Amino acid sequence: MLGPIISLLVILIAGKLLLSQFNPQAVLLIAGLGMLVAAFLISPDQLELKQDTGSSFFDFFALVKEAFSKTNAGVGLMIMAIGGFVAYMDHIGASDTLVFVAMKPLHLFKKNPYVLASMVIPISQILFIAIPSAAGLSLLLMASLFKILVQLGVSRIAAAAVITASTTFGIGPACATTASSMAILNWDAVFYFLNYQIPLVWPLSLSMMISFYVVNRYFDRKNKLSDSGSATSLLERPKAPFIYAILPILPIALLIIFSEMLEIFKQPIHIDTTTVMFVSLFIALLFEGIRYRTIKPVMNSMQVFFDGMGNIFKSVITLIIAAELFAQGLIALGFIDGLLELAASLDLHVSLVGLGLTLMIFLAAVLMGSGNAAFFSFGPLVPNIATQLGVATPYLLLPMQLAASMGRTISPVSGVLVASAGIAGISAMDIAKRNFIPIVTALIIMMLSHFYL
């Protein structure tokens, strides 16, 4: 029990430091390394550092290197590429052109833009099934939809909130937690998606649409946050040609067209988000070349893309890496296992155990900033727990899977919120606070409907 106690103390200290406006990267990185060192001192045989420096002291710092290498080669590169693309779209005027074109048909929502903002949630949830990267989809929507919502009159916080909420429910065959669930259950992913995930998720999306409408409208008016008056310049005729309006939404279109869900082509074409961003960048460069009919300025403009990638790295990727090490520390100290043991030792009714496990994985995702990390830690243990309780494994597994992705949506250290906040020019904590009431409301509805109806 020493490990979970230490991890709880570290969580409390880290939380206080974060609330005191200490640098979040430094707090999470030092706290994560501290917990890993504590786990090594408590049980050196159980902690596998997987490093080969020859010294335990240097092995811990090699973990930081490994975290940078792994993140930058995967999700980090994707987020940086999207950040660079967003910067380039602003530079060439494509974002303003999209806003100008979109404002024509969407002007009907000018009197009540919160209706349109709330409609983003169920519509984008469908996109999330085809583009199963929470950070990726959120940033693509930030590039294409954010300015439109702000121009219509919602605040930057409200616009970022509904965009991040679009990734609340990790469902669909391509979702990582669904794949993990299928490995645990040995089921077909499509069967699970159609018969288990959709029936539970659609009423939750409806509840979130209503709750986000009420919450965003109330807090924007209370805090006088509407940005409609500050962006009037966007209504002026943009300098870029109207055809440039397709560029910010081009990555989303390409990802949907080549999605495995549609199966348009006889010979499947597999294309990931990072690749799509570079394809879209070179198409934008081609547009610029045709527009200016000169090579040097167009080639020089690529620096804007690289500068955008660098800005995202220093503000977003470093925080994601620090949060990942923090999560590793929690797992190494047995914090997750301790929560499970606590739930099992209370000898409660099966529905109360289900509620407890769902809440635990939700809180773990908030702390870790990753729904995948939380679910991958809890999920494999569920079949044994279900057997002991005499219930079917999906009875416990399904709400836990959804709770993992829901917790990520209100975590101020999650990649989704941090990356979206960086694009919006606000803090991730602002988005987390705005998401809290709708997400917790949906969590309560999910638990009550699943375990008691």
What is the rounded CA–CA span in Å between residue 352 and residue 355?
Answer: 5
Residue by residue, pLDDT tens for the chain (453 residues) are 688 889 889 988 988 887 787 888 888 889 988 988 888 888 776 666 655 666 777 777 887 888 788 777 777 888 788 888 888 988 998 888 887 887 777 777 778 899 999 999 998 888 888 777 788 888 888 888 898 899 888 999 999 999 999 999 988 877 888 888 888 888 888 889 889 999 999 999 999 999 999 999 999 998 876 654 444 444 567 788 989 989 988 888 888 888 766 667 777 777 887 888 899 999 999 999 999 888 899 999 999 999 988 988 887 788 778 877 887 888 888 876 776 667 666 666 788 888 988 998 898 888 878 888 778 777 887 888 888 778 899 999 999 999 999 999 999 888 889 889 988 989 999 999 999 999 999 999 999 999 987
pLDDT at 406: 95
Residue type at position 155: S
Half-sphere exposure of 193 (CA within 13 A, CB side): 18
Tokens of 213: 């409408």
- Write the CB contacts of 440 (distance below 8 Å, at least 6 apart in sequence): 410
pLDDT at 201: 93
* Nearest alpha carbon to residue 54 among 64, 43, 62, 46: 62
Tokens of 409: 């949506």
Would you list the domain boundaries of the chain?
75-313
- Please write the tens of the pLDDT for every residue from 19-65: 787 888 888 889 988 988 888 888 776 666 655 666 777 777 887 88
What is the rounded CA–CA span in Å between residue 326 and residue 28?
Answer: 6
Q: Evaluate if pTM is beyond 0.85.
A: no
Distance between start and end Cα atoms, the chain: 36
